[in-house]
Amino acid sequence: MGDILSGLESMGLGNLSNVDLFHDKKDKPKKEVEVKPVEKKAEEKDFLYDRDVTCECCGHRFKEKSLRPNRMKPISQDVDLRPKYEELDTLKYSISACPICGYAALTKEFTHLSQAQSRMIKDNISSNFTGLRYDGDTYTYDDAIARCKLALINTIVKHGKISERAYLCLTLGWLTRGKAESLDITNEAEKAKITEQLSNEENDYLTKAAEGFGEALMKEAFPICGMNDSTFIYLMSALNFEIGRYPESMKYVERILLNRAINDRIKEKARKIKEAIQEIKNA
């Protein structure tokens, strides 16, 4: 700048005497630190809502925990077709139960009740029922198991289908398995003891399910519990495999593999059961 800005030194501004007169140097804007909001992890209660229900047995209106539609993401199935979701165990919310009279059933079957069945339930269940009470925002596994047992005794009392009773036994097995998987116990010895107990309970439920489905196969027409013949036969092979009845399981496996009408997906599942049985025999 030569002498144009000379003399600024006397004012303590000598450091500016060499600035460019016409070409400003713009300071680079300081980069703002982006503060990302902490994403709140979804909780089980976030996938539920309180649904209004009218009891088919006593007419009482009540609210129950229900799944928000289209919110859950399926991730896998167990060998016996137990569905597994990323966010929660949907099976805990598969039963509808009146907290006043004690009528309970699979939610999809809750409205299917005749007057004769209603009288049976009132005479044999409602007369002694003390009520259902829940304080939390969700159902625990113990809550869900109790509700499923209530549905099972209702199905027996109202002379419901054998297949429906078997499916409730299967659901109890699935819920018990889920409870075992969710155990939060630091004491390894205690955890092992409870896990073994739950495993035995699950096996009992699956055994009853296999027996009931076997009887339903002889007495009921397809679809059975919403399953076509190929899915049902596969389930029978899986249940018998899980409870250690390997010859029985192989009978159902062979029925699948020899049937040209059954799709490759189910046949592949059946082959895996066959391979697992062969490995057990060769061990």
In a domain, residue 53? The reply is yes
- Name the domain count of the chain: 2
What's the pLDDT tens digit per position in 263-276?
999 999 999 999 99
User: C-alpha angle 10/13/14, rounded to 5°?
Assistant: 80
Does residue 67 belong to any structural domain of this protein?
yes
Asked which of 91-95, 103-107, 128-132, 154-158 is least confident by mean pLDDT, the reply is: 128-132
The contacts of residue 3 (CB under 8 Å, 6+ apart) are none
- Among the listed residues 257, 186, 179, 175, the one whose alpha carbon sits nearest the alpha carbon of residue 209: 175
The CA distance from 161 to 155, in Å, is 8
Structure tokens at 45: 């209660």
Same domain, 145 and 241: no
**Is 232 found in the same domain as 194?**
no
Say yes or no: 199 and 260 in one domain.
no
123-147 tens-digit pLDDT: 999 999 999 888 899 999 999 999 9
From its phi and psi, is residue 32 left (phi > 0), alpha (psi between -120 and 50) or beta? Answer: beta
Q: Does a structural domain hold residue 77?
A: yes
Q: 234 and 194, same structural domain?
A: no
Any domain includes 222: no
The domain in which residue 280 lies consists of: 228-283
pLDDT at residue 73 tops 60:
yes
Q: Are residues 71 and 198 in the same domain?
A: yes
Whether residues 171 and 257 fall in one domain: no
Yes or no: say if 199 and 180 are a contact pair by the CB < 8 Å rule: yes
Contact 99, 54 (CB under 8 A): no
- Does a structural domain hold residue 38? no
- Report helix angle 162-181 to 141-157, nearest 10: 170
Residue finishing a domain among 176, 209, 242: 209
- CA dist 111 and 14 (Å) reads 91
Q: Give yes or no: residues 193 and 248 share one domain.
A: no
pLDDT at residue 41 in the model:
79
Tens-place pLDDT, residues 16-51: 556 555 455 555 555 566 666 666 778 999 999 999
Q: Are residues 116 and 195 in the same domain?
A: yes
Asked if residue 18 is part of any domain, the answer here is: no
Average pLDDT of every residue of the chain:
91
One domain, residues 74 and 156:
yes
pLDDT of amino acid 133: 83
Q: Which of 209, 238, 261 is the endpoint of a domain?
A: 209
Report the percentage of the chain scoring pLDDT > 90: 81
Q: Does 33 reside within a domain?
A: no
Residues 281 and 244 in one domain: yes
Instruction: Tell me: do 123 and 169 sit in the same domain.
Output: yes
153 and 113 in a single domain? The answer is yes
Residue 12's CB is within 10 A of a number of other CB atoms, namely 8
DSSP letters, 87-104, are S--GGGG-EEE-TTT--E
pLDDT at 35: 65
The reply to whether 21 falls in a domain is no
Residue after which a domain boundary falls, among 180, 209, 238: 209
The CB-based long-range contact list for 102-106 (8 Å cut-off, 24+ gap) reads 102/126, 102/129, 102/131, 102/132, 102/150, 102/154, 103/55, 103/56, 103/57, 103/58, 103/154, 104/147, 104/150, 104/151, 104/154, 105/151, 105/154, 105/155, 106/151, 106/164, 106/167, 106/168, 106/171
Residue in 130, 127, 90 with CA at minimum distance from that of residue 107 = 90
Residue 125 and residue 181: Cα distance in Å, rounded? 32
